[in-house]
């Protein structure tokens, strides 16, 4: 997607694979990307000076997702992690940081291992911890994407992503999730034990790893599987040693409360029923006034379908970049619980797709579709900016449409490489052109 002159093997059908459009030239992509990122930066400076981002005019932290996580981590490190799983106590803990408010988020849904990740950022004053968390996790995602693509325009495009802007505004963990997912896939093919370390660390947010065991089993990556399990176990053991066992025993009840608060609200008249914020198939169905049963059925079908696709692709001999792109995109579709900041991880499937495109060329129409996805996401961000009392970008459920379309682009390339007459019986059959595409 970001190479000026993608290489097209001579024996491939050049009516299918095409060089990049002029707008996809490397120098132009960098200009576009950095220009959009500069606009984001100007916006952040303006809202900071207005006292509506990071801290208010009195220097008191603005209530955001990071404020919630920061205050929870400080409390946990003081030896009071169990208080976080009591809604009344958790509200008091948040009020101590941001002052009295009409509403505080009542549930802390993260496992205690998350505190180990956040701990270094709480030794700093709040505003510095906020910025350093944002910058450090964003740099992690940029490094992973660059290592996948090996082209400098990748940096500009990560910075230009509307979901990057949203995650930076909220200082949430979408960059971290994307970094761990991307790093695990980056190393899985040649260093499975190292990949397992990143997979095990991703258990801090397990809903984004539910398809990883499917891919590992399909590819028979048992070393990565063992490494991931060991890493997760060590992670849990350290959290118990540092924070105690009580927080773990309180977690299941709080997860049930979180599910009831976010996914099982009675209907659109319920104050908790802000379905547009949930960037999943489930959230879209509820946002369209579908009931919980219907939403779970459709989400279940989407998750099952994504799992089947991942299994078939990872059992196939198609190029690894396409396998990784498929898994990364499907992982964001399979979960019923995700928000706009989580969609920052879209950089990972896009990077693996770009890697394959640079090596083998574009399929007809791909560039138009990808440009349209980026343009639509950016248009929604501009049209529905984060403004008090109004619709926000994060409450517009475009995530599932973007991810399903991206997965469709990836699977089109997979299907072109595999003759459907012998899919999924992976043998030596198929046309010479398709066999050449598989091994190029």
Give mean pLDDT, residues 249-260. Answer: 77
Please give the backbone phi and psi of residue 53, each rounded to the nearest 5 degrees, phi first: -140, 135
State the Cα–Cα distance between residues 286 and 75, nearest whole angstrom: 35
Give mean pLDDT, residues 188-195. Answer: 97
What's residue 166's pLDDT?
92
Compare 208 and 381 and report the one with higher pLDDT: 208
State the Cα–Cα distance between residues 139 and 319, nearest whole angstrom: 28
State the Cα–Cα distance between residues 329 and 313, nearest whole angstrom: 13
DSSP state for residue 430 in the 8-state scheme:
S
Coil vs helix vs strand at 106 = coil
pLDDT tens per residue across span 97-142: 999 988 898 888 899 999 999 999 999 999 999 999 999 999 999 9
Number of H helices, E strands in the chain: 19, 2
Residue found under tokens 């400076």:
45
pLDDT tens per residue across span 293-332: 999 999 999 999 999 999 999 999 999 999 999 999 999 9
Residue found under tokens 């790093």:
183
Q: If residue 362 lies in a helix (H) or strand (E), which one and from where to where?
A: strand 362-363
CB–CB of 148/2 below 8 Å? no
CB–CB of 34/388 below 8 Å? no
What's residue 250's pLDDT?
82
What's residue 80's pLDDT?
86
Q: What's the pLDDT band for 16 if we cut at 50, 70, 90?
A: low
State the Cα–Cα distance between residues 244 and 249, nearest whole angstrom: 10
The proportion of the chain whose per-residue pLDDT surpasses 70, expressed as a percent, equals: 84
What's residue 79's pLDDT?
87
Compare 412 and 417 and report the one with higher pLDDT: 412
Over the chain, what is the mean pLDDT?
A: 86
pLDDT tens per residue across span 32-41: 999 999 999 9
State the Cα–Cα distance between residues 339 and 275, nearest whole angstrom: 10
DSSP state for residue 22 in the 8-state scheme:
G
How many Cα neighbours within 13 Å face the side chain of 342? Answer: 24
Q: If residue 222 lies in a helix (H) or strand (E), which one and from where to where?
A: helix 222-243
- Residue ranges per domain, the chain? 17-439
Using CA of residue 263, residue 268, residue 270, residue 275, what is the dihedral sign? positive
What's residue 17's pLDDT?
53
């Amino acid at each position: 997607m970001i190479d000026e002159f993608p290489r097209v093997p001579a024996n491939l059908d050049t009516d299918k694979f095409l060089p990049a459009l002029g707008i996809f030239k490397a120098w132009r992509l960098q200009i576009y990307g950095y220009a959009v990122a500069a606009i984001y930066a100007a916006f952040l400076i303006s809202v900071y000076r207005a006292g509506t981002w990071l801290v208010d005019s009195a220097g008191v932290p603005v209530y955001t997702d990071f404020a919630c996580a920061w205050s929870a981590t400080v409390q946990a490190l003081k030896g009071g992690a169990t208080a976080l799983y009591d809604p009344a106590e958790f509200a008091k803990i948040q009020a101590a940081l941001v002052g009295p408010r009409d509403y505080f988020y009542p549930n802390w849904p993260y496992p205690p291992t998350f505190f180990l990740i956040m701990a270094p950022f709480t030794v700093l004053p709040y505003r510095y911890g906020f910025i350093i968390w944002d910058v450090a996790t964003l740099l992690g995602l940029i490094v992973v994407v660059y290592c996948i693509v090996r082209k400098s325009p990748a940096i500009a495009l990560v910075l230009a992503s509307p979901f990057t802007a949203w995650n930076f505004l909220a200082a949430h963990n979408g960059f971290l999730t994307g970094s761990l997912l991307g790093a695990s896939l980056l190393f899985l093919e040649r260093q499975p034990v190292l990949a397992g370390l990143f997979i095990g660390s991703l258990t801090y947010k397990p809903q984004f790893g539910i398809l990883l065991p499917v891919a590992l089993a399909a590819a028979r990556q048992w070393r990565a599987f063992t490494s991931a399990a060991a890493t997760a176990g060590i992670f849990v053991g350290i959290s118990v040693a540092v924070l105690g066992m009580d927080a773990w025993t309180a977690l299941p009840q709080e997860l049930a409360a979180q599910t009831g608060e976010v996914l099982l609200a009675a209907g659109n008249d319920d104050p908790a029923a802000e379905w547009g914020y949930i960037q999943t198939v489930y959230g879209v169905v509820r946002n369209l006034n579908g009931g919980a049963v219907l939403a779970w059925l459709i989400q279940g079908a989407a998750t099952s379908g994504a799992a089947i696709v991942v299994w078939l692709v990872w059992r196939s001999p198609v190029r690894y970049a396409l396998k990784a792109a498929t898994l990364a995109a499907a992982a964001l579709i399979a979960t019923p619980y995700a928000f706009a900041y989580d969609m920052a991880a879209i950089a990972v499937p896009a990077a693996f797709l770009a890697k394959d495109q640079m090596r083998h060329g574009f399929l007809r129409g791909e560039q138009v579709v990808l440009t349209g996805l980026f343009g639509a996401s950016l248009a929604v961000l501009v049209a529905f900016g984060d403004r008090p009392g109004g619709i926000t970008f994060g409450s517009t459920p475009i995530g599932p449409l973007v991810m399903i379309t991206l997965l469709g682009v990836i699977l089109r390339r997979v299907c072109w490489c595999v003759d459907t007459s012998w899919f999924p019986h992976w043998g030596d059959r198929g046309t010479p052109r398709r066999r050449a595409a598989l091994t190029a």
